């Protein structure tokens, strides 16, 4: 799911962010480019809307998507959203 200019929990009033939330690709179809395509499409849409950064959140751990996002250029911001890592990439 993509989100555009939503209030981010913990940020001051009026601060919004855009990006991806809960991207899931069935395990049988991973490593075929679907996730990469989805992230690329969301980033392109956000860029067209004038955004400069795309944010994601994910569960850390060996079975999580961290390596996937790192390969796409996302870097952890040092923040957590609940227990999830917040990462971003410049558009």
Residue 81 has pLDDT above 80, yes or no: yes
Q: Are 57 and 84 in contact (CB under 8 A)?
A: yes
In this predicted structure, what is the pLDDT of residue 1? Answer: 66
pLDDT per residue over 63-72, tens digit each? 889 999 999 9
In this predicted structure, what is the pLDDT of residue 13? Answer: 63
Q: Are 55 and 86 in contact (CB under 8 A)?
A: yes
In this predicted structure, what is the pLDDT of residue 82? Answer: 87
- Phi, psi of 57, rounded to the nearest 5 degrees: -130, 150
In this predicted structure, what is the pLDDT of residue 66? Answer: 94
- Tokens standing for 52? 């400069």
pLDDT per residue over 9-58, tens digit each? 666 666 778 898 888 899 999 999 999 999 999 999 999 999 999 999 99
């Amino acid at each position: 799911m993509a989100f555009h200019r939503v209030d981010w929990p913990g940020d001051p009033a009026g601060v919004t962010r855009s990006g991806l939330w809960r991207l899931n690709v069935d395990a049988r179809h991973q490593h075929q480019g679907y996730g990469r395509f989805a992230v690329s499409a969301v980033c392109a849409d956000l860029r067209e809307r004038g955004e400069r950064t795309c944010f994601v959140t994910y569960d850390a751990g060996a079975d999580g998507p961290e390596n996937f996002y790192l390969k796409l250029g996302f870097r952890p911001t040092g923040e957590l959203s609940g227990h999830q890592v917040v990462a971003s990439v410049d558009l």
